[in-house]
Amino acid sequence: MTVPVAVVTGASRGIGRHLADAFEQAGYAVARGSRDVADVTDREAVDRWVGDVVDRHGRIDVLVNNAGVIDTEVPIHEADPDEWWRTMEVNVLGPFLVTRAVLPHMVAAGAGRVINLNSGAGVRPGAVASAYNASKTALARLTGSTDLAGRDHGVFAFDLAPGVVRTDMTEAMVAHEGRTEWTDPGEVTALALALAAGEHDVWSGRMVRAGVDTPASLRDRASGGLDATDRTITLVPWGDDDPLG
């Protein structure tokens, strides 16, 4: 029996650890990424790591781009440029490099699923932590490009927004001071496993959100048909006469 293989970045703690554990419990062989294994912003390190996974397992069925950081919660004019750019590198360059290394193996196999951990912050500007918002918007574009490049080869890509899971990062954020309601990690892992299993490929190139969406609700919604822009980040024209429409 062939064992499916999942690659999970940022798997040493937080949501990444929950995801890696869930995939392992579901019968996947899991390659757990961390800065000690391969810095996702280091192209050579990423290529070596992915190559080693393929050498050991012969395949990669699922990629979960989870590794991410948030910049200090200050307005854009108070942001530190180096920290701002490092946030973009980890949250955008990182998923790009790992996807770039993994995708050829999926395309050659004729199947694969890429799940990018996104955020509601990606669909709107932020008064603070502007790099995080900008990076998550950019990540959605990377998801869309992965979908367009891969779907004719049986490879699909999704944005998975996890809601607000209680982690070291979220507990340290000013935005979540005093929060008493948190997203259950089980809701995140259930969606990720369903996407990975190919149950919801119609949602490829779109965003789903744990704590709001469930595998059942996504199936029900898709049964009525999805418009081209549903759950995508899209320019909204002012009307039929808008030249950008």
Query: Are the C-beta atoms of 165 and 159 separated by less than 8 Å?
Result: no
Q: Are 59 and 37 in contact (CB under 8 A)?
A: no
How many Cα atoms are found within 13 Å in the side-chain-facing hemisphere of 158? Answer: 28
The pLDDT value given to residue 181: 77
Note the CATH number of domain 5-223. Answer: 3.40.50.720
What string of DSSP letters covers 112-175?
EEEEEE--GGGGS--SS-HHHHHHHHHHHHHHHHHHHHHGGGTEEEEEEE------HHHHT-GG
Say if pTM beats, i.e. exceeds, 0.85. Answer: yes
Q: Percent helix, strand and coil across the chain, each rounded to 5? A: 50, 10, 40
Check residue 4 and give its pLDDT: 98
Cβ contact 151:204 at 8 Å: yes
Residues designated as active site: 132, 136
What is the residue-level pLDDT of the chain in tens, covering all 245 positions? 799 999 999 999 999 999 999 999 999 999 999 999 999 999 999 999 999 999 999 999 999 999 999 999 999 999 999 999 999 999 999 999 999 999 999 999 999 999 999 999 999 999 999 999 999 999 999 999 999 999 999 999 999 999 766 677 776 767 777 767 776 888 999 999 999 999 999 999 999 999 999 999 999 999 999 999 999 999 999 999 999 97
At residue 171, the pLDDT reads: 62
The pLDDT tens digits of the residues spanning 58-116 come to 999 999 999 999 999 999 999 999 999 999 999 999 999 999 999 999 999 999 999 99
Angle between helix 185-196 and helix 215-223 axes, rounded to 10 deg: 50
Pairing of strands 112-117, 155-161: parallel
Q: What number of CA atoms fall less than 13 Å from residue 238's CA on the CB side? A: 4
Mark 155-172 as b/e (b = at least 16 C-beta within 10 Å): bbbbbbbbbbbbbeebee
